[in-house]
């Protein structure tokens, strides 16, 4: 189980690699990779207690497997969830028959009108497990889980992608393909 400090550092790394690398004065390449040495140095300058060993532990122990190293561990990136434009080189994949999305009940009226939108992120995030979707929904308030008829969408030409940490991604999910569980 991750320590509280590792969780705090992991959230900061997520901010940097998914949303705002400029927070600590680094940049990502077009595939979202950051140089590990530059990341560690910049985080240390920002007052974060981190080194290669701590970073390796955070990546290995993150229960959501949010980050990935390249083969020689000189670069790191977030697996998904970016609000900045990066090309993760994801290939379209056929999804399972059903996927799930967790949200808060306060968002239901908007979802019923517009469907699921990616909002500030590159993709809508979906899970193949109801429990995971419920956990996501709980982070946003009173949770609700939506069943996504992914295979029907796929048959109609919608594209799905599977991130390295097994989160299903798509551009949008119209309300016609959703059901409240």
Residue 64 has which token pair? Answer: 């959501």
- Give Cα 89 to chain centroid, integer Å: 15
Looking at the fold, whether 115 and 165 belong to one and the same domain comes out as yes
Looking at the fold, whether 74 and 106 belong to one and the same domain comes out as no
Of 45, 78, 111, the residue that ends a domain is 78
- Reported pTM: 0.78
3-state DSSP of 94-110:
CCCCCEEEEEEHHHHHH
Looking at the fold, whether 122 and 160 belong to one and the same domain comes out as yes
Residue 17 main-chain phi, psi, to 5 deg: -80, -20
From first to last of the 181 residues of the chain, give the pLDDT tens digit.
Answer: 789 999 999 999 999 999 999 999 999 999 999 999 999 999 999 999 999 999 999 999 988 888 999 999 999 999 988 889 888 889 999 999 999 999 999 999 999 999 999 988 889 999 999 999 999 999 889 999 999 999 999 999 999 999 988 999 999 999 999 999 9
C-alpha–C-alpha distance, residues 48 and 181, integer Å: 42
Looking at the fold, whether 104 and 174 belong to one and the same domain comes out as yes
In a domain, 16, yes or no: yes
Find the domain containing 112 and state its range. Answer: 99-180
CATH number, position 61: 1.10.10.970
In a domain, 88, yes or no: no
Looking at the fold, whether 167 and 104 belong to one and the same domain comes out as yes
pLDDT at 164: 87
Looking at the fold, whether 103 and 175 belong to one and the same domain comes out as yes
Cβ neighbours for 32, distance < 8 A, ≥ 6 positions apart: 17, 77, 78, 82, 86, 87, 88
C-alpha–C-alpha distance, residues 70 and 119, integer Å: 29
Task: Report which of 156, 179, 160 is spatially closest to residue 168, judged by C-alpha positions.
Answer: 160
Looking at the fold, whether 18 and 69 belong to one and the same domain comes out as yes
Looking at the fold, whether 128 and 176 belong to one and the same domain comes out as yes
Residue 5 has which token pair? Answer: 């400090």
Angle at 161 between CA 160 and CA 167, to 5 degrees: 110
Looking at the fold, whether 9 and 74 belong to one and the same domain comes out as yes
In the chain, the number of structural domains is 2
């Amino acid at each position: 189980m991750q320590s509280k400090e590792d969780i705090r550092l992991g959230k900061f790394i997520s901010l940097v690699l998914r949303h705002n690398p400029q927070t600590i004065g680094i940049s990502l390449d077009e595939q979202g990779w950051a140089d590990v040495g530059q990341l560690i140095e910049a985080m240390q300058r920002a007052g974060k207690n981190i080194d290669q060993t701590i970073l390796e532990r955070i990546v290995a122990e993150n229960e959501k497997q949010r980050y990935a190293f390249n083969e020689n561990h000189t670069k790191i990136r977030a697996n998904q969830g970016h609000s900045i434009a990066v090309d993760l080189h994801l290939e379209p994949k056929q999804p399972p028959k059903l996927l799930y999305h967790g949200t808060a009940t306060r968002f239901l009226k908007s979802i019923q009108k517009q469907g699921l939108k990616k909002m500030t992120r590159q993709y809508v995030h979906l899970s193949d497990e109801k429990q995971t979707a419920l956990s996501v929904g709980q982070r946003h308030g009173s949770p609700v889980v939506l069943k996504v008829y992914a295979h029907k969408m796929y048959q109609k030409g919608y594209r799905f992608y599977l991130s390295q940490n097994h989160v299903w991604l798509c551009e949008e999910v119209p309300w016609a393909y959703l059901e409240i569980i």
